[in-house]
């Protein structure tokens, strides 16, 4: 009988699984975007969610969706440089403040012969959407860094979608290298 009453006497707040409605009060912005790159002869496709230098915002990429028209490995890497093309279409997932208000993250792309760096890779199957998700963050992006998803094969079509949360970071959160 005591165990049943304890929940009523000591209400618990789950600080690890905060609902989206409460994140807006912290203030945290929830965002999403996607890009599709058509085949380009001899080039690999690169999709990036980039946190601009000087933004004073910390981005936690929580979901990446990948769809390719040719079975291949797809590379994940964190880059310091922004890709060349600003694709746009970054949107808020919480529309109470509008769809584009206060979005810091940049959706960027590039098509080049360069094989993207390799921190992690998965095998993407033709026309089968791969969803990678981690509420703690697949990648935590400090200002001036980005998460880049690159195809290993050339001349393919790729669609990459990102979901993330962004919030102002405290200087004490900066982790020194080494």
Say which residue the tokens 């094969």 belong to: 153
Residue 12 near residue 118 (C-beta atoms within 8 A): no
- Higher pLDDT: 15 or 40? It is 40
Please state the domain extents for the chain: 28-169
Does residue 114 carry a pLDDT above 60? yes
- Predicted confidence at residue 17, as pLDDT, reads 60
Both tokens of 135, joined, read 């509420």
- Please state the length of the chain: 178
Of the listed ranges 43-57, 93-107, 157-171, the one predicted with least confidence: 93-107
Does residue 66 carry a pLDDT above 60? yes
Q: Is 67 helix (H, G, I), strand (E, B) or coil?
A: strand
Tens digits of residue pLDDT in 88-107: 899 998 888 777 677 999 99
- Predicted confidence at residue 176, as pLDDT, reads 65
Bridge partners of residue 37, in order along the sequence: 158
Does residue 140 carry a pLDDT above 80? yes
């Amino acid at each position: 009988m005591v165990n049943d009453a304890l929940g009523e006497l000591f209400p618990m707040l789950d600080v690890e699984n905060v609902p989206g409605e409460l994140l807006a009060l912290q203030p945290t912005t929830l965002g999403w975007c996607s890009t599709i790159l058509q085949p380009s002869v001899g080039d690999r496709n690169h999709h990036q969610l980039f946190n601009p230098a000087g933004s004073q915002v910390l981005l936690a990429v929580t979901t990446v969706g990948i769809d390719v028209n040719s079975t291949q490995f797809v590379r994940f890497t964190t880059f310091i440089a922004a890709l060349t093309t600003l694709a746009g279409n970054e949107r808020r997932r919480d529309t109470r403040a509008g769809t584009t208000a206060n979005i810091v993250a940049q959706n960027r792309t590039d098509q080049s012969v360069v094989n993207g760096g390799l921190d992690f890779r998965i095998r993407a199957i033709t026309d089968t959407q791969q969803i990678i998700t981690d509420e703690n963050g697949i990648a935590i992006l400090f200002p001036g860094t980005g998460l880049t998803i690159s195809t290993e094969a050339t001349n393919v079509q790729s669609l990459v979608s990102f979901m993330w949360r962004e919030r102002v970071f405290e200087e004490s959160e900066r982790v020194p290298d080494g």
